[in-house]
Every structure is written in C-alpha cells, then in structure tokens.
Structure 1
Amino acid sequence: MCWSAEADVVAGAVVTGLGAACLARVRDPRRLPLALLPLVLGLHQLLEAVVWMGAEGRVAADTAAAARTAWAFIALPLLPVLVPFGVRCAAPPGPARRRATWALALGAAVAVPLAAAVLGGPVTARARGHTLAYAVGVGPVVLLTAGYLLTTVGALLTAADRTLRLLGVLVGVGAVVCTALWRLEFASTWCALAALASVVLVGWSGGGPGPARTEGPT
C-alpha cells in the first residue's frame, strides 16, 4: 500500500520491474516460487492504485470493487500459502524443510477462512488521511492474524538460507513500523517494504543449487 494512486503506480512499476529481474536471474528451479513474489507484490501495488481511484470516484464502482477483491485475495489468502511454499521448495531435505511444511499447513488453514471471506465479500476500502482502510468480514481476527504472521514471517525466520532469514527480520521489523505509521494515518509505507523485500529476493534468486547436502532424515 502507498499513500496515493500515483505513488502506487510508481511503486508497482518499480516492484514489477524487480520481479522481472528476479525471475530472469533464477538458475535453480527450486527458487522459482519465491522468485515470483516480487511480481505478485508489484501487481498488488498496481491493483491498489485502482482502489485509490475508486475511493476518489475516478473509476467505475464495478472496477473499484473488482480491484478491492483482487487486492484482498493477494494480501490475505495468497501470501500465507505462497511464502511458506516458496521457502519449502528452496529448503534442503531435513529439519528446515519440515519446519516449512508445518508453516505451509498452517498457512493453508489460515487461507481457507480468509479466502471464503474475500470471495464472499464485500471488500470495502475508505481513505483515511494518506492511507486506505480495508474491511473484510472475517473472524476470529486475533487467531487469524497470529497464524498469518507465523506462516509468513515465521517461515522466513526459520528458513535454512541465511538471506531468507535476513528477509524475515526485515519483513518483521518493517511490518511493525508500517503498521504504526498506518495507524497514525501518516502515510502507508507498505510499498517501500515490498520494494526492499524485492531487492533482497533479486539478489537471492540468482543463487545456484550448490552442492547437494542434507540436514538429516526427512
């Protein structure tokens, strides 16, 4: 999320470009699912530009509603499945892969009610200062939020790869900062976090498979 439609367009274009670079650098097919993440985040920003325009009455109501639903589907049920799936694909056999498998199972459990809420609609969004406040009818919110964080940030923090663990720290700290700024209605800075995460993934995606190794029995 950015603070205006125009900012979202710029951020979306930048992150989408990073996503293309990320995919172009992939040498190890196991890294492909996570290498797709910047492209997904870039699309997410571009969708929110349309949401902003809808909140400002600059696009048709049906177009804005479709953009809100697509935005919420990426943010809510897709990411808690895509992130641990990508971490699992990239992990060597052993404890790290098993941890990612548990995170993926939790992500799928979280994604089901979130997907039902998003697809059942309606997804609403209203401007609050320089931020957008989304609303989706779903509960229990506390449990789903905890599960969401465990399966996304947690999957990265417990990854076998050092760069992915660093990404987990950046995303975790960044999420706290972005949430605080969003609650103050100062500005939505999630787009900056998406760009930073994408830069890290561009560097990570070009890594090769390296020598085969295991951490223990699977």
Structure 2
Amino acid sequence: MCFSATASFVAAGFTGMVGVITMTRATRKSEFPVAAMPCVFAVQQAIEGALWLTLPHGGDGAAATMLPLAFLLFAEPFWPVFAPIAALLLETDRKRRQMMLGCAAVGICVSAYLLWSILTRTHGAMIQDGHIMYLTDHRSSEWIGLAYLAATGLPFLLSSRRAVSALGAILLVGSFTAYVFYWEFYVSVWCFFAAVGSVVLLAHFEHARRGRQRLAGA
C-alpha cells in the first residue's frame, strides 16, 4: 500500500479475514476463484508491508530483489488472466460469457507481454514521497494499459450479479484514479483500491447464503 508498513499489514489482515469468510460462503467450485480474490489481494498487501520494512535498510539484499518481483508478478501478469476467468466461471448468461471470453483473450495476450517484460528486464522498488514506486527499464504503452483495464475490470462490470458488477466499477474507477493522480505509483495504488473493493464480494456471497437459507426454510 502507498502509505506505510502498518497500513499495508492492516489492509492485508483485514482483506485476508474478509477473504477467508467469503470463501466459507462459496458452495460451488465455480465460485471459489472469485471468493478467493480478497485473499490474493491480502498477500499483495503483505508483500508491500514487507517492502516498507526492507527498503529503508538497504535495497541491494535478496529480500529487496525478490519482494518487488513477487508483487509485480501478482499485479501485472496474474490479474489479466485470473480476473476474466474468475468472472466467467461465475456467469450463467450466454451473451455476457461471450464478452468475458473476449476479455480473457485480451488478458492472456497482455499477461504474456507483461510477464516477458518482467522476466527479461531489470526491476526493483524504492520509497519516494511516501509511496512505493516499482522501477523498471521498460514503460508499457497506453494501449497495453487500456488492454490491462479491459481484462481486469470489464469482466466483473459485465457480470449479471450486482455485487460483482459493483466490484468491476470499483476496479475501473480505482484504476482511472491511480492512473490520473498517482501514475508513478500506479501499480501500488491500483492494487490498494482493488483490495478495498474486493470487500463487496462478501456482500454477494452472504446475500446468496441467506437466500439459500430462506429457500431451505420455505
């Protein structure tokens, strides 16, 4: 997260707790990828918390090398593939599924490009102006950025389930805000918005659980 180690670890703990509860509410295998999203964001926030503790004490150790790599692998190549597949598995409407499949195809291409960029070029992280900046010697084009947004946010926005669609709106608004106001810290800030936004998934699964209980009691 873009403020401090404490804020990152608190966000990780809270989001992880929400993720565990959300996963206990999932009853079908197709629901588990979406239900697990808060846990994945919690891992990312924990990585950033560890970076906040590591970077002020020297940026040339093994931890200072591996932690940025771990965070970037989650933030860049992982989500463009995982997000559309998770949304697709949850969707039952045929037309919406077809559009999500298009997002997944875009996501696979973007993920492959970003993974190649991470693995073949130098990368690192530094603290600047109260934020963590992820450093790379390669700057992706605006088209890659738009494709990334389409793959990660649009599939959820297309969902026929209100809470999942709300998550898509939060992801896209958060991404746009991070892009406009925090471009140099975009990766870190976007993931924070996403971690907070994933809390709405708990509302979705809790609503579904109560609906099943009402049907069982009828």
Same fold (TM over 0.5): yes
SS of structure 1 residue aligned to 2:133: strand
In structure 2, give the amino acid aligned to 1:129.
D
Deviation of the 1:118 alpha carbon: 1.8
SS of structure 2 residue aligned to 1:76: helix
Counterpart in 2 of 1:103? 103
- Tell me: CA distance 1:140–1:177, structure 2 relative to 1, closer, same or farther (3 Å): closer
Counterpart in 2 of 1:23? 23
1:69 aligned to 2:101? no
Q: Is the 8 A contact 1:110 1:144 kept in 2?
A: yes
**Structure 2 Cα separation of the partners of residues 154 and 104 of structure 1:** 10
In structure 1, give the amino acid aligned to 2:20.
A
Q: CA RMSD in A?
A: 2.5
**Structure 2 residues without counterparts, runs of 5 or longer:** 212-218
Deviation of the 1:2 alpha carbon: 3.0
How many aligned residue pairs are there? 208
SS of structure 2 residue aligned to 1:92: coil
SS of structure 2 residue aligned to 1:159: coil
Select the structure with the greater relative contact order (CA < 8 A; seq sep ≥ 6): 1
**Structure 1 residues without counterparts, runs of 5 or longer:** 211-218
Q: What do residues 70-129 of structure 1 show as CA deviations (whole Å, max 9, x unaligned)?
A: 000000000111110011000115111111111111100000011112223422112121
SS of structure 2 residue aligned to 1:27: coil
Q: Is the 8 A contact 1:84 1:104 kept in 2?
A: yes
Counterpart in 1 of 2:216? none
Of 151-160 and 79-88, more deviation after overlay is shown by 151-160
Alignment of 1:177-216 (within 5 A): 177-183=177-183, 190=190, 193-206=193-206, 207=208
Q: Is the 8 A contact 1:2 1:191 kept in 2?
A: no
**Structure 2 Cα separation of the partners of residues 205 and 59 of structure 1:** 42
- Tell me: CA distance 1:121–1:184, structure 2 relative to 1, closer, same or farther (3 Å): closer
Q: What do residues 140-189 of structure 1 show as CA deviations (whole Å, max 9, x unaligned)?
A: 4212111100111111122222222221112222233344453598xx75
Q: Is the 8 A contact 2:75 2:191 kept in 1?
A: no
Counterpart in 1 of 2:151? 151
In structure 1, give the amino acid aligned to 2:61.
A
**Greater helix content:** 2
Counterpart in 2 of 1:14? 14
- Tell me: CA distance 1:71–1:189, structure 2 relative to 1, closer, same or farther (3 Å): closer
Counterpart in 2 of 1:81? 81
SS of structure 1 residue aligned to 2:153: helix
- Tell me: CA distance 1:117–1:54, structure 2 relative to 1, closer, same or farther (3 Å): farther
**Structure 2 Cα separation of the partners of residues 192 and 112 of structure 1:** 23
Alignment of 1:45-60 (within 5 A): 45-57=45-57
**Structure 2 Cα separation of the partners of residues 192 and 50 of structure 1:** 15
**Structure 1 Cα separation of the partners of residues 203 and 130 of structure 2:** 32
Alignment of 1:109-128 (within 5 A): 109-128=109-128
Deviation of the 1:195 alpha carbon: 4.1
